[in-house]
Amino acid sequence: MPKKTAAAKSEEVTIDGIFGPGGLLAKRHPGYEFRASQLEMARIAEEAFAKHQHVLIEAGTGTGKTLAYLIPAIRSGRRVVVSTATKSLQEQLFQKDVPFLQKHFAPNLKAALMKGRANFLCRHKVHQMEGQPVLKGIDEIDWFAQIRDWEKLTETGDRSELTFLPDDADLWNRMDARSDLCSGQKCPEFQNCFITAMHQRAQEADLIIVNHHLFFADLAIRQDDFGSILPEYSAVVFDEAHEIEDVASDYFGRQLSSYRFEELARDTENLLRVLQIEAAPLRRHLARLRERARSFFERFPEREGRYPFGPAERNAFVDQNREAYDELAAAVKRIETELSALTPKPEEVVSVARRASEMRRELAFLIESEEKSHVYWYERRGRGIFLAATPIDVSEILRERLFEQFDTVVLTSATLAVAGRFDYLKQRLGVLPAAESVLPQEFDYPTQAILYIPRALPDVRNPSFGASAAAEITRLLEISQGRAFCLFTSNAQMRDLHERVSRLVKFPLLLQGTAPRSVLLDRFRTTPHAVLFATASFWQGVDVPGAQLSCVIVDRLPFAVPSDPVVAARVRVLQEDGRNPFAEYQVPEAVLALKQGFGRLIRSKTDRGVLAILDNRIQRMQYGKIFIESLPAYATTQDLAEVARFMAQPEK
């Protein structure tokens, strides 16, 4: 275990003496304002670290939860991992909050930021590529020159520093530090490697900041005894903990896409070119691999979306396409064999051969496995086909691998409780006995927000809903003068309503899918009276404070699509267990999603605006009460004139 950090109790002062009125935060933080819920959260977190217990804390926007868990973490004298939902939140913690703590509370605090390998430059690849004819076009030549100069200056090698490089630049995929082509300690750049440096910093750190994807990638590796990514630690904090079931399901499952076969061929060709290995037979087999992969994946239906691929569907598929499946497996095996036969055989070649072997095994599992603990499915997304096997229930895995292995797990988010209780989350995640707290809200929701539920709209399942919803959205946008998110539960509904509304309003409308997410957000923030039509990825993790976002419209209660293979499998298991999947799974899941969507609106004490849900089941159906009870105490109306009066009030 790590030694006790000097940051632990550098000042003999209580949590109240830090977070209370007139305390150390008040004296040292320029934007400080006393928040009772922040003080309460810090007390709870401090007790959890001291008593080595798990805790669940729902802390609404504006609580100041980051400092409320970071300060108790560094006072604990333990090595603590903080896991966030996104890389941008990671960077905010590391670049803003950690330096503040080091300056004012813990001068000896050592913190490390850890991301996945694909975020970092591989120095060895840069040196190999220099002078080789491997760059495509003027842009790549220019980017490579800038990256080569940056490599000599950067301390981290983190791609986030490269503001000039487009998100979709293929050049980065050929230069990053993914393990697929890594030769580890045999690499001549191992001592100077950015990954090596990241691990060294983590080994020396008291506080390690990761994201959920890296955390569960590490937990899955530990499960299989393949070593670890993170150093040893004894406590973990999950910020945005409502996301961890989905992320854990991905990493404890299996997935293989059509893109992976193209990447294997491309990376092998680049490797041969950089290492100046001729290997003409291998090049012919790479061309054959591409043909076999294309032939196999084009056998899947052309319809977009996610579909069941259980034993019955797979058996029927293989019966019809046995030759294409066998030829693809044989083509991957041949690449593995050809690579293994190369002499001399640099370590990078060994890594690619190992990768081919793993892909062959993954393909066999996804097509042939009959493990009943997984649900099997495929998805067509654009030009790609994704095959996957997802655990139906990750609660037992998380109980054994997380909650029983580490004595302190702090789970926090603005959306963890359903009707004030944590039963749903504890059941889904396998949380062992834990302290629980729903903290008081910091915002004055009754005066800052009004919830509008139209009285006259038809049921969302009625064919006339689309035209009526478009008219209702138009009236709301006229009141809010645009400045709105319109959030949908399906792409088809989003596109349909966007087309209808675009004929009825003068405001600039933005549509998800027409540009990268970050670009759309920037356009929304900088375009007066803009309206964004979006689906799932904009329901959470989006922050637009101020009057630019004054209205959030949700088309319907965000129940997961019942035909989705994972949802259907989880419903079936609960039914077989004699339980009520609608009440125990589908409603709570939708409640948390709605809380996330509505949470986009009020982000500060000066924000105000309209929340609208066009699905009147929230008032007609018995289960609607659970949604209402789970939301903050918004002022509520069914009268559009009252919405107009609310929005006409001068800001305080």
Confidence (pLDDT) at 226: 56
Do residues 62 and 465 make contact, with C-beta atoms less than 8 angstroms apart?
Answer: no
Whether residue 273 has pLDDT greater than 90: no
CA distance 646 to 156: 50
Looking at residue 225, its pLDDT comes to: 53
First to last CA, the chain: 53
> Rounded to whole angstroms, what are the CA distances from 184 to 192, 268, 324, 348, 546?
12, 18, 36, 9, 48
Q: Give phi and psi for 198, each to the nearest 5.
A: -60, -45
Domain spans of the chain? 15-110+205-245+394-438, 117-194, 254-391, 445-648
pTM (2 decimals)?
Answer: 0.89
Which uninterrupted H or E stretch holds 350? helix 347-368
Q: Write down the pLDDT at residue 284.
A: 93
Average pLDDT (520-544) is: 89
What mean pLDDT is predicted for residues 109-114? 96
Confidence at 10, pLDDT banded by 50, 70, 90 = very low
Q: pLDDT > 90: what percent of the chain?
A: 74
pLDDT of residue 163: 86
Q: How confident is residue 30, by pLDDT bands cut at 50, 70 and 90?
A: confident
**535-574 pLDDT, tens per residue?**
988 888 788 888 999 999 999 999 998 999 999 999 999 9
Cis ω on the peptide bond leading into residue 440 (within 30° of 0)? no
Q: Which residues contact 564 (CB under 8 A, 6 or more apart)?
A: 306
pLDDT confidence of residue 174: 87
pLDDT in tens, 385-408: 999 999 999 999 999 999 999 999
Q: What is the pLDDT of residues 619-652, one digit of tens each?
A: 999 999 999 999 999 999 999 999 999 998 876 5
Q: Is 422:250 a contact under the CB 8 Å cutoff?
A: no
Indicate if the pLDDT at residue 343 is higher than 60. Answer: yes
pLDDT at 652: 56
In whole angstroms, give the CA distance from residue 493 to residue 495: 6
Average the pLDDT over each of 82-91, 269-278, 311-320 and give the range with the smallest value: 269-278
What pLDDT does residue 1 have? 41
Q: For position 651, what pLDDT does the model report?
A: 64
Supply the pLDDT for residue 88.
Answer: 83
Q: Give the distance from CA 431 to its chain's centroid.
A: 21
Evaluate whether 15-110+205-245+394-438 and 445-648 have a shared fold: yes
Segments in 106-231 forming alpha helices (H)? 123-129, 137-153, 170-173, 194-204, 212-223
Exposed, middle or buried: residue 476 (CB in 10 Å: 0-12, 13-18, 19+)? buried
Q: What is the distance between the alpha carbons of residues 149 and 565, in angstroms, rounded to a whole number?
A: 48
The CATH number that domain 15-110+205-245+394-438 falls under is 3.40.50.300
Which architecture does CATH list for 254-391?
Orthogonal Bundle (1.10)
Q: Say if residue 222's pLDDT is above 90.
A: no
The whole-number pLDDT of residue 2 equals 44
Reported confidence tier of residue 531, pLDDT bands at 50, 70, 90: very high
Give mean pLDDT, residues 188-199: 91
What mean pLDDT value characterizes the chain? Answer: 91
Question: Can you read off the two tokens belonging to residue 380?
Answer: 């067509």
- Looking at domain 445-648, which CATH architecture does it have? 3-Layer(aba) Sandwich (3.40)
For 101, counting Cβ atoms within 10 Å of its Cβ (0-12 exposed, 13-18 middle, 19+ buried), the class is buried
